[in-house]
Chain A
């Protein structure tokens, strides 16, 4: 598939002897893997070619900043880094709250390159970390699938993974986020688990724990591993597949893995304390009980064993009940039942929206829509069921793991868009298995029914479960359908006759295995057509993936483009605003904005922020949310108490950029109202509708966010027509009393305001209210009139 030249060369060698063929197949699959790596890397470079070599989005900027710190200050300072530029005035202990895997990886790569005298900037290394690791991830997929279903399936799965859009979306060049390395770590950990399960080798078990450690370092998603593997172990035990290999695959992982995980500062004692890890320990106990039972069974006579079982079960049940009761009481006594909010929202998808607006507000924590499945895994969605079926023929320990993996990840992806990423490798593996099995069956039938091929070769091809032949089969079938279809008509009639003749003689000659194969063989036309259809399907997939990589997922989101009649427009407002801040404000000034822009502000503008994307302190975010939804004076007081100098808002109304602060504003109200009850969501809604036009509520029209977004907006077109909300705004002419506009970017996407200093003087009474106040004061003085001695 990936290497047409080598595959044509491979055809003649089919007939040489087995060892040479295996060797050749090994070389071939090595080159194919190499090309898969190149493919995985290069398909992710669209963002660099179309835009430039920049870090994308929000979180990557934080990771980039941390990596810069690491390369400058070294690992110990990184570990102990107390960051005073963020979450002002609380600060953040970065070393203890960050998953260090990605940073350390990129830092190591940078250090290696530099010590080899390759002077790359840290930014370049960060930009290209994700593509490099996606190549690694596809190789890991090859290894994992090879363990499950052989090399052919492995290669197919690897090539599918190399360009699955869901994974591309998180690993294009510049998308320097934890997931970039974590997916590799995830697949590799699974591979080593399966490898241990298949071999029973303690060496692989140890490697597995180390891979698990790397995963724990890299991503919070490691809890998926530590829950999925116990589930699989339990499944194996329940289905009577317990073996010493299973024990070796599992027990060292739990012991070593937990110890290693506890070394990561951000995890620490969570590795033994939180409910996410509970399943692994429960299964750890169960597997020991089962191992013990098997051991007892081995040394006792069956009769004695029965007696022992009844005895142990009756006593054990009582003890178990007591222990479980205590456990349940313990767990139930904590309000969240010992689970973290994010994990709870996985189990109960409505949990977050009910109780934690800050989790629900993140767009990637929303449940995905159906089209997003098609967008993200495309044809794999149709191949997955076939793959699952293939996993059951025959069901091994390894293939049952794949089935379990796909089943759980489908559920999780249905809860959160973000976890589509976990589904993608599972879908690639099952689809790889499905495709490979289908090609195997179809080419097998074709080969069997082709006149030119000798039965010996056929038997060999059918017999060998070795990787190489299948790999070659994959290559061959790509060439053959065209040839066969050309001369199909002429040979068609002859073939059938020949088969009839050949069959009885072959029966005598060939082993029963070949006979079986023959019975399973499909008609030639059907197989040829199916092959063709499968190739078309694959072609669709490739086209879609390349399109997704080039168009959908390569935008860095800090630089936006839009194509209109008069050509391409580039909106570089974010960087414009951040560099303004960097060059025009004091180094210790504090900038307040909604938390989305916190990481970018610290990384690009190097200014202290109040809240950022690491949403660890809900109260602090609620304070900012409250300020944004308060009237000007109250907001000024909140910001002033936090020493804020500048307020940054993102406004898309002029150019039609939909993810601006006005569209996020209801979340600010909700999060703010969650902590400060005087902010009430209904005050901002007119009849349950969120609107900013003339029908909007006065609270809405007077809140700070509205004012900062729409200040002087009417001067742009004279009508103040908001292109995102598609309406004219409600209040067009107003003045700011406590804030002053200091910078607005070219397309008005980022607007920066400065807090005015408290007034130098306090006025006497104002002229306008003079008449009023004097009348009221005269009525007041009439009360004191009686004390006046002159009346």
Chain B
């Protein structure tokens, strides 16, 4: 029995790294990035973005997408922690990379940034589709917005959009508000509403639509309004993170530097929000933020310290777990008031919010229900932006032993009395009956 529990504890401690086995559980931030480009000109035209990554300590490796020597893994080991696809028009990857290899890369817990563009290849569309978004099918379609376009010298076709319809989440975009609108020129995509893993970070304004800007609109556009997502993020079930956008120029130095004025608005921002937005979101994608880990799951009876192999019904117990958040450099205590633990057997018998000591230690105590069976301590913590925590630890609850029941119940004293008086009466009766003559 004891051995069994050691193993189960071990299996639970394995659970977390299993969920994110790409990064070492000690420092989940990615280190080695592979950037696949259509041509090396992008390296210089998008240098601000790349330099910001480098300055944060990332190791970037630039390769042409059709380079015959590129490979994601060698001898079963992945060579990179994350992949940036800045190659919207690639039809076939070189080397050993293909569509399935990229999917496997993500499924083994690695991160991915996809930048499509107008005339994006089927391959890029398919990778996006596999991640949970659907680019507009029309290959020449772009997102057009005649209301909230970015004002520029030439009137243009209103495909350069200044969007500020961001997701309201500090944990994804950082605590500093992004004041300037974000410049976007590219294709839109839609999300499957049933998909709860994908989030729209930057959506188009209600007046946007997706169509070919050069031809006249003959049929109503299929993608319209705020259903169009400009930038989406995906957090897969294994906590791999994906950023998908329909533009490559958003990352470019030109867009980073240019000022922006939204049509109809008089405020002219000196600098677009692109740099701040993309930097913050890359922190999220590369696990510099919102990455939680739970360690030291402990439970024991009140007044004891050792973890028992099983509980008895109606025992009082204490449960504690430490939760930390990765700050990019170190593990900081995670502070929240909504972490709950369940005592679960087919349905939660106990559901309690845990209190914390501001140092990451969450704990609570409760009474085991009056039901025996194989229970689980479950912590299912899913909060927007954060990696999901899913801890479960099996613990059997046994009924009373034969000598743990009350020996003398006060309510039963009349019955005891009846039994003993009967015995005494029978004894007297036998005595009288046998010896009275």
Contact = CB atoms under 8 A, between A and B. Distances in A.
B137 A82 contact: no
Given A80-B402, A587-B7, A762 B374 contact: no
A762 B198 contact: yes
Contacts of A774: 137, 222
B278 interface: no
B345 A89 contact: yes
A588 B394 contact: yes
A581 B374 CA distance: 21
B130 interface: yes
Given A588-B4, A761-B237, A762-B192, A93 B399 contact: yes
Contacts of B373: 89-91
A759 interface: yes
B209 interface: yes
Contact of A89 (B11, B128, B131, B374): B374
Name A's interface SS: loop
A191 interface: no
Contact of A760 (B107, B146, B224, B372): B107
Nearest to A762: B195
Contacts of A760: 106-107, 236-238, 240
Contacts of A778: 219-220, 222
A314 B209 CA distance: 100
B237 A759 contact: yes
Contact of A587 (B4, B209, B219): B4
Interface string B192-224: 101111100000000101000000000110101
B130 A588 contact: no
A778 B126 CA distance: 21
Given A588-B4, A758-B237, A781-B224, A764 B128 contact: yes
Contacts of B351: none
Among B146, B238, B346, max chain A CB count under 10 A is at: B346
Contact of A761 (B132, B146, B224, B372): B132
B313 to A, nearest CB: 10
A774 B134 CA distance: 11
A789 B220 contact: no
A694 interface: no
Contact of A770 (B137, B195, B198, B220): B137
A761 B222 contact: no
Interface string B330-372: 0000000000000001100000000000000000000000001
A762 B222 contact: no
A761 B399 contact: no
B246 to A, nearest CB: 13
A620 to B, nearest CB: 10
A782 B220 contact: yes
A588 B396 contact: no
A370 interface: no
Nearest to B108: A760
Among B106, B198, B234, B394, max chain A CB count under 10 A is at: B394
Interface string A572-615: 00000000000000111000000000000000000010000000
A734 interface: no
B310 interface: yes
Contact of B106 (A76, A79, A761, A767): A761
B220 A785 contact: yes
| A interface residue count range (under 10 / 10 to 19 / 20 to 34 / 35 or more) | 35 or more
A763 B220 contact: no
A588 B7 contact: yes
B375 interface: yes
B379 interface: no
B398 interface: yes
A762 B132 contact: yes
Contacts of A762: 132, 192, 194-198
Nearest to B198: A762
A761 B396 contact: no
B222 A781 contact: yes
A365 to B, nearest CB: 29
A91 B345 CA distance: 11
Interface in A716-773: 757-765, 767, 770
B237 A777 contact: no
B401 interface: yes
Interface in B1-46: 4, 7-8, 11
B327 interface: no
Given A588-B8, A763-B129, A764-B192, A91 B134 contact: no
Contacts of B396: 82, 84, 91
A209 B282 CA distance: 82
A93 B372 contact: yes
B133 interface: yes
Given A82-B399, A91-B373, A774-B222, A763 B132 contact: yes
A184 interface: no
B220 A781 contact: yes
Nearest to A787: B225
Interface string B288-311: 000000000000000000000010
Interface in A286-302: none
Contacts of B146: 790
A588 B11 CA distance: 9
A295 to B, nearest CB: 13
Interface in A401-448: none
Contacts of A250: none
A144 to B, nearest CB: 34
Given A84-B374, A90-B373, A586-B11, A761 B220 contact: no
Interface string A604-646: 0000100000000000000000000000000000000110000
Interface in A366-401: none
B107 to A, nearest CB: 5
A571 interface: no
A764 B237 contact: no
B346 A641 contact: yes
A759 B238 CA distance: 9
A76 B401 CA distance: 9
Among A608, A762, A767, max chain B CB count under 10 A is at: A762
Given A82-B396, A93-B399, A777 B192 contact: no
A777 B130 contact: no
Contact of A765 (B4, B192, B345): B192
A788 interface: yes
A204 interface: no
B148 to A, nearest CB: 13
A17 B198 CA distance: 106
A761 B234 contact: yes
A79 to B, nearest CB: 6
Interface in B386-435: 394, 396, 398-399, 401-402
B75 to A, nearest CB: 23
Contacts of A706: none
A791 interface: yes
A84 B237 contact: no
A758 B238 CA distance: 10
Interface of B: 4, 7-8, 11, 106-107, 126, 128-134, 137, 146, 191-192, 194-198, 207, 209, 219-220, 222, 224-225, 234, 236-238, 240, 310, 345-346, 372-376, 394, 396, 398-399, 401-402
24 contacts: A79-B402, A80-B398, A80-B402, A82-B399, A89-B345, A89-B373, A586-B11, A588-B7, A588-B394, A760-B106, A760-B107, A760-B240, A761-B197, A762-B196, A762-B198, A763-B130, A764-B133, A765-B129, A770-B137, A778-B219, A778-B222, A784-B224, A785-B220, A790-B146
Given A587-B8, A761-B132, A763-B132, 8 more contacts: A82-B399, A90-B374, A93-B399, A587-B4, A641-B346, A759-B237, A761-B234, A764-B192
The 8 closest A-B pairs by CB, nearest first: A82-B398, A84-B396, A764-B134, A89-B374, A764-B129, A762-B195, A80-B401, A760-B236
Interface of A: 76, 79-80, 82, 84, 88-91, 93, 95, 586-588, 608, 641-642, 757-765, 767, 770, 774, 777-778, 781-782, 784-785, 788-791
